[in-house]
Structure 1
């Protein structure tokens, strides 16, 4: 019997397990999924937890519930991959051999990479919201906070969901207004980027929003350390920003086993062909989503669109055929802008976000680079789609390739 091993039972791993189990005969192909956690997290929901909009029941569910029957699920930590031997070693000394390996272990926050970040003030006046634990702790803090300077700091790029720090800032503005303490809160947005975002048109729109909401942006800020005693973050060029509340987006890195396996770059992301999604070094290894180093957003939509391409290419590889499916870097993302509105961006490797309509050209109903209530409801509605359609590998009527139809070019 031939074997496929999938590392990671998050969005990408679960989606691929469902797709491949339907496509491959059970008598010929054994599929095994490995993950060290039993709980599946709806990570887009972490953004809403600090403000009391979402609770645990909406973002945490058992992983086993979403994996298909006929798939082996092993809950264990990964020690390392031996790619030249086509083997995976687990921490319990179990060895898994494979004919094909799909790596979908994502990225994780690494606050220890920044001196002083994860010290005595961690979860007291310094929080993250990219983990369930951090978002929940921040929720408890914000319920009684009476104001001061809140600094939202991005330590380094790339990060999961690049727009989430902006969304957090916008939602915080609304939250403090509802609590009638906005005039007592100074919101500072600190980023290593030279602007609010990486793409010009989106940056212009988002920068305008920051200004309208009286959120002060500090660009080109590369954090070196956190001075916990003085409550300051310090950049490599010596600039300092004082805070009463620091909301950190720590350094994001790939899984630790990638480093032990000698398969990744300095941030443990795996060099991957950006079109075929196959490892640049090993022909029987494919990489999906945040675990790769492909030059697109580390976002859930990328996993969804890339999975369609990966599925076709894995089947081609199994049948000894050329990998003809190509991923164009397609990504789209709802951006919560506060006060019950959101924007929407749609882009790929070569094309920046443009105004227009989505997903139906000329009709929408979503508006690109516009702040609308319908976009906001689209963001909230995606939760149902995620749990009930997307990770189950069911068809969504949205093309994995980005279309220029309905977009406006100046």
Structure 2
């Protein structure tokens, strides 16, 4: 009697992309032939878009936090441990507790994290007080408390450097802060300043123009081309490399984002620890049996949940072809869509890809919507609020959502006709 050794797929990271890919492939790969292992250092899974709402009391901390075990399908092994290093030549993953996992295929889905330690003066006695952030669970809760204590002055929202998770979130925070301060009756006592290394409000020129108008309408001062060199917590100022200074009373900063340290230790990353991949297949440019999904890769589009979702859909189809000995025929087009909270119970919706700028129109049904593209609407705001339920109940479990992975021009108005 002979026994067949199972092939091994190891997924590093049980966030959005890692959980989705493990669940979808568990449903597609024969259990008799494949062992799927997911590795993550903690059993806590946070709905990260919810961090934005916590400082304003629009989400409770409990609404954004659940256990990872609840979302990993039966038949997938979840290993709670920290990754030390990947040895791509030996096809093995070394864990910090001394264990080693062999793989036939590896998916790196370890995400990206804020690194305040990379900017001089960002960490210090005032970290999570007058120097706040909302890109972590602890930071968003601390910022909620800081905003409650805020009585007016200079509120500065600051982006350190691109790329970072959810690039519209700093703008959303600014719009929501404007609303929040009006509700508290202290907006007239507050100057809001938006500080960015970009030459405009956003990376995409069409959206940047529209979002810039919204900032102007709300009386927000925009400081562009600002590359921060250090933060002086004692003097309460941001200092740029060209020696400009932006004073603050309350700073809300988006620190430099970087990929996982083990990516660097493994020789698999660029200077920010992101894995270089083919932007259409997410396959490592160095090792054909390694893929990087979600925020862990260097693909030139937004580090956002929608990108993880759409790229995983493409990856799963390609992976099934690959393990069947066939060429990978599916190509990710960089599709991203994101809601942009603009305050007053409204939001915009952006839909774009590698080659196409955000356009006006309706989504997802042509001429019907109910959501509008690149324009504020109540329906868009309700769509964003509803997405938390969709995330926990459809997206993570890997259930069909009815949205095509590729960007569709259906319902969109071409730029030259808008």
Q: Which residue of 2 aligns with 1:261?
A: 266
Query: Separation in 2 of the partners of 1:153 and 1:8?
Result: 28
> Which runs of 5 or more residues in structure 2 are unaligned?
1-5
Any unmatched runs of 5+ in structure 1? none
Cross-structure match for 1:109: 114
Distance across 2 between alignment mates of 1:216 and 1:84: 52
Of the three residues 277, 285, 289, the one matched with 2:290 is: 285
Give secondary structure in 2 for the equivalent of 1:30: strand
Distance (Å, rounded) in 2 between the aligned partners of 1:361 and 1:38: 41
How far apart, in 1, do the equivalents of 2:289 and 2:321 lie?
11
Q: Which of 229, 250, 260 is matched with 2:255 structurally? A: 250
Q: 2:155 aligns with which of 146, 150, 153?
A: 150
Alpha-carbon distance in structure 2 between the residues aligned to 1:253 and 1:323: 29
Q: Which secondary structure state, in structure 2, belongs to the residue aligned with residue 278 of structure 1?
A: coil
Say which SS state the counterpart of residue 412 (structure 2) adopts.
coil
1:66 paired to 2:71: yes
Work out the CA distance in 1 between the residues paired with 2:300 and 2:146.
Answer: 36
Partner of 1:319: 324
2:353 corresponds to: 348
Work out the CA distance in 1 between the residues paired with 2:403 and 2:339. Answer: 15
Task: Using the TM superposition, give the Cα deviation of residue 33 of structure 1 relative to its aligned residue in structure 2, in angstroms.
Answer: 0.3
Q: Which residue of 1 aligns with 2:30?
A: 25
Query: Does the residue aligned with 2:262 lie in a helix, a strand or coil?
Result: helix
1:120 deviates by 1.4
Whole-angstrom distance in 2 between the partners of 1:337 and 1:43 = 18
Residues 124-178 of structure 1 deviation map (CA, whole Å, 9 limit, x = unaligned): 2101100000000000111121111011110000010000000000000000000
Separation (CA, whole Å) in 2 of partners of 1:16 and 1:124 = 38
2:17 is the counterpart of 1:12 = yes
What is the number of residues matched between the two proteins?
A: 410
Q: In the alignment, which of 41, 58, 63 is matched to residue 36 of structure 1?
A: 41
1:304-336 alpha-carbon deviations (Å, 9 max, x no partner): 000100101111121111111100000000000
Q: CA deviation at 1:57?
A: 1.6
Q: Distance in 2 between matches of 1:161 and 1:263?
A: 24
Query: Which residue does 1:403 correspond to in 2?
Result: 408
**CA separation in 1, counterparts of 2:61 and 2:255?**
22
In the other structure, the counterpart of 1:195 is 200
Question: What SS class does the counterpart of residue 252 from structure 2 fall into?
Answer: strand
1:184 aligned residue (174, 183, 189): 189
| Corresponding position of 2:383 | 378
Task: Determine whether 1:393 maps to 2:398.
Answer: yes
Q: Does 1:120 align with 2:104?
A: no
Pick which of 314-323 and 209-218 moved more.
Answer: 314-323
Secondary structure of the structure 1 residue equivalent to 2:172 = helix
Q: 1:312 and 1:48 mapped to 2: Cα distance? A: 35
Report the 3-state secondary structure (helix = DSSP H, G, I; strand = E; otherwise coil) of the residue aligned with 2:281. coil
Given the alignment of the two structures, is residue 83 of structure 1 paired with residue 88 of structure 2, yes or no? yes
Cα deviation per residue 1:199-249 (whole Å; 9 max; x = unaligned)?
Answer: 121111100000000111100000000011111000001100000111010
Matched, 1:227 2:232: yes
Question: SS state of the match for residue 309, structure 1?
Answer: helix
2:217 to 198, 209, 212: 212
Q: CA–CA distance in 2 between the matches of 1:236 and 1:377?
A: 41
The equivalent position to 1:333 in structure 2, one of 319, 330, 338, is 338
CA–CA separation in structure 2 for the residues paired with 1:373 and 1:336: 10
Structure 2 residue aligned with 1:270: 275
Partners of 1:394 and 1:357 lie apart in 2 by: 24
When normalised by structure 2's length, the TM-score is: 0.97
SS of equivalent to 2:53: helix
Aligned to 2:139: 134
Partner of 2:58: 53
